[in-house]
A and B are shown apart, each in its own frame.
Chain A
Amino acid sequence: MRIHIKGGTLIDPAEGTQVAGDLFIADERIAGVRSAPAGFQADRAIDAAGLMVCPGLVELSARLREPGFEYKATLESEMQAAVAGGVTSLACPPDTDPPLDEPGLVEMLKFRARSLKQARVYPLGALTQGLKGERLTEMAELHDAGCIGYGQADAPIANSLVLSRALQYATTFGFCVWLRPQDPSLAHGGVAHDGQVSTRLGLPGVPVSAETIALSTILILAQETSARIHLCRLSSAAGLELVRRAKQEGMPVTCDVAVAHVHLSEIDLGFFDSNCNLIPPLRSLRDRDALRQGLAEGTIDAICSDHTPVDDDAKQRPFAEAEPGATGLELLLPLTLKWAQEARVPLPVALRKVTSEPLRILGLPGGRLRPGEVADLCLFDAQARWKVEPAALFSQGKNTPFLGYELPGRVRYTLVGGAIVFER
Chain B
Amino acid sequence: MSGNPQLSPEGKLRHLLTIEGLPPEILVQILDTARSFVSVTEREVKKVPLLRGKAIFNLFFEPSTRTRTTFEIAAKRLSADVVNLNIATSSQTKGETLLDTVANLSAMHADMFIVRHSQSGAAHLIARHVGPHIHVVNAGDGRHAHPTQALLDMFTIREYKGGFHQLRVAIIGDVLHSRVARSEIHALTTLGVPEVRVIGPRTLLPAHVEQLGVQVHHDMAQGLRDVDVVIMLRLQSERMDGALLPSAQEFFKYYGLTPEKLAHAKPDAIVMHPGPMNRGIEIESSVADGGQSVILPQVTFGIAVRMAVMSILAGN
Contacts and interface: CB of A to CB of B under 8 A. Distances in A.
Interface stretch (B38-46, B51-59, B141-149): B141-149
A198 B208 CA distance: 9
A267 to B, nearest CB: 11
Nearest to A318: B119
B98 interface: yes
Closest 7 CB pairs of A and B: A272-B121, A202-B143, A202-B144, A318-B119, A202-B120, A196-B208, A199-B206
Contacts of B142: 202-203, 318, 320
B97 interface: yes
B119 A199 contact: no
Contacts of B98: 316-318
A201 B120 contact: yes
Contacts of B182: 200, 202
Interface string A255-281: 000000000000000111110000000
Interface of A: 194-196, 198-203, 205, 207, 270-274, 313, 316-321
B206 A319 contact: no
B47 interface: no
A195 B124 CA distance: 21
Interface string B100-132: 000000000000000001011110110001000
Contacts of A194: 207
Interface residues of B, number: 27
B179 interface: yes
A141 B208 CA distance: 49
B209 interface: yes
B97 A313 contact: yes
B20 interface: yes
Contact of B125 (A196, A202, A318): A318
A318 B121 contact: yes
Given A201-B144, A318-B125, A318-B142, 10 more contacts: A195-B207, A196-B207, A196-B211, A201-B120, A205-B207, A272-B124, A316-B99, A318-B117, A319-B119, A319-B121
Contacts of A270: 1
Nearest to B127: A271
Given A270-B1, A319-B121, A320-B121, A200 B212 contact: yes
Contact of A202 (B1, B5, B97, B179): B179
A201 B121 contact: yes
A332 to B, nearest CB: 23
5 contacts: A195-B207, A200-B212, A202-B141, A316-B97, A321-B119
A320 B119 contact: yes
Contacts of A316: 97-99, 125, 129
Contacts, number: 74
A203 B208 contact: no
A3 B207 CA distance: 59
Contacts of B212: 199-200
B143 A203 contact: yes
A71 to B, nearest CB: 14
Contacts of B206: 198-199
Interface of B: 1, 5, 20, 97-99, 117, 119-122, 124-125, 129, 141-145, 179, 182, 206-209, 211-212
Contacts of A207: 207
B41 to A, nearest CB: 31
Contacts of A202: 120, 141-145, 179, 182
A271 B119 contact: no
A383 to B, nearest CB: 27
A284 to B, nearest CB: 10
Nearest to A195: B208
A158 B74 CA distance: 52
A318 B211 contact: no
Contacts of B5: 271
Residue from B120, B182, B212 with most neighbouring chain A CB atoms (10 Å): B120
A198 B143 CA distance: 10
A194 B182 CA distance: 16
Most buried by B among A199, A205, A313, A319: A199
A369 to B, nearest CB: 41
B1 A318 contact: no
Contacts of A318: 98, 117, 119-122, 125, 141-142
A280 B106 CA distance: 36
Contacts of B143: 202-203
A269 to B, nearest CB: 9
A8 B254 CA distance: 74
A238 B117 CA distance: 35
Nearest to B6: A271
B301 to A, nearest CB: 24
B113 to A, nearest CB: 15
Contacts of B208: 195-196, 199
Contact of B120 (A195, A196, A272, A313): A272
A202 B5 CA distance: 18
Nearest to B61: A318
Contacts of A317: 97-98, 119, 125
A203 B211 contact: no
A85 B245 CA distance: 51
A321 B122 CA distance: 10
B211 to A, nearest CB: 5
Most B CB atoms within 10 A — which of A201, A202, A205? A202
A270 B20 CA distance: 12
B298 to A, nearest CB: 22
Contacts of A201: 120-121, 144
Nearest to B206: A199
Nearest to A193: B207
A205 B177 CA distance: 12
A137 to B, nearest CB: 34
A212 to B, nearest CB: 15
A316 B141 CA distance: 16
- Residue picked from B1, B98, B122, most chain A C-beta under 10 Å: B1
A406 to B, nearest CB: 15
